[in-house]
Amino acid sequence: MTIPESSYFPFITKDEQLEKLTNLIREKMLDYITKSSLQSLVLGISGGIDSALCAALLRPVCDKLNIPLIGRSITIETNKDDEIERSILVGNAFCHDFEHLDLTDTFYKNKKLLVNFDDSMLSKLRQGNMKARMRMMILYDLAQLHRGMVISTDNYSEYLTGFWTLHGDVGDYAPVQHLWKTEIYALSTFLLSEEVEEQKKALQSCIDATPVDGLGISSCDCEQLGVDNYFEADKIFAAYFQGDETLKDHILIKRYFSSEYKRNNPVSFSRTELLGE
């Protein structure tokens, strides 16, 4: 079971901490790209705060290395107009190469290959997973074409709740995966000060937006997590991991335990277990 280390608390919210964090993320990314001889970064842009923050963090790195930040907004039927508008704002503001793609028709064609869809939550989840995997197919093809890698945009709050799709919205390099959603908002707000007007407008629009998964499963992320907002979710996690057993039956904590299989994927066995060596 994945238990956060003591270093995960308290949350990073002070300007001097956020400045240091920004520099470290960029330094580590620059070093990794250089050592790996990568020629591009590929980023899926949803119109949400996580991908917008990744774009803001990575654009200066790409500029310094003179490689393109390639962004794609890939929408499929359930994405709302405001999500799409924000994704286009972010893509145009931060990416060297950006396009908006609508895969709705392709999704409907692929959906015909699958069976037993109805109005149940299971059907919504299945279709949502399919959409995430279709998007990643596009991004990975771009990464191979441009000799780059796909950026993963998940944060730690989502990681612990299993709020992502296996073999779907997961990339090769995750610059913010160990940041709580509380810290995602804090860092995004901090970075507003370094952006030009177009970038600031795009980033602010994502800070102000209601978090949604874009998959049509619910009206907002927090509806599925049993909380009013992510700040409440992070406080519940902090209290539970620091010993508050009264929270063990909260839907958020139950999701944490029920999604452990995702964090342990793929399941494998050692040669000792298999062969008795």
97-102 and 69-75 as β-strands: parallel, antiparallel, unpaired? parallel
Q: Give the per-residue pLDDT at 261.
A: 94
Query: H-type helices in 7-48, by residue range?
Result: 15-36
Q: Give the per-residue pLDDT at 220.
A: 73
List per-block mean pLDDT (blocks of 10 residues) for the chain, which spans 277 residues: 84 96 98 98 97 98 98 94 97 98 95 86 89 96 98 95 91 97 97 94 96 66 85 96 95 94 92 86
Q: Give the per-residue pLDDT at 234.
A: 96
**Residue 162: CA count within 13 A, CB half-sphere:** 21
Q: What is the pTM of this model?
A: 0.94
Report how far Cα 4 is from the mean position of its chain's Cα atoms: 19
Place of tokens 């290395």: 65
User: In CATH, what is the architecture of 6-219?
Assistant: 3-Layer(aba) Sandwich (3.40)
Place of tokens 């860092």: 187
Q: Give the per-residue pLDDT at 26.
A: 98
d(CA 204, CA 217): 25
Q: Give the per-residue pLDDT at 217.
A: 61
| Contact indicator for 236, 250 with CB cutoff of 8 Å | yes
Q: Give the per-residue pLDDT at 230.
A: 93
Domain ranges of the chain: 6-219
Query: H-type helices in the chain, by residue range?
Result: 15-36, 49-65, 81-94, 104-111, 121-145, 156-161, 181-191, 197-208, 221-225, 230-241, 251-258, 260-263, 271-275
Strand partners, 100: 73
Q: Give the per-residue pLDDT at 277.
A: 65
Place of tokens 């409440």: 232
Q: Which of 216, 66, 187 is nearest to 128 (CA)?
A: 216
Instruction: Give 43's DSSP letter.
Output: E
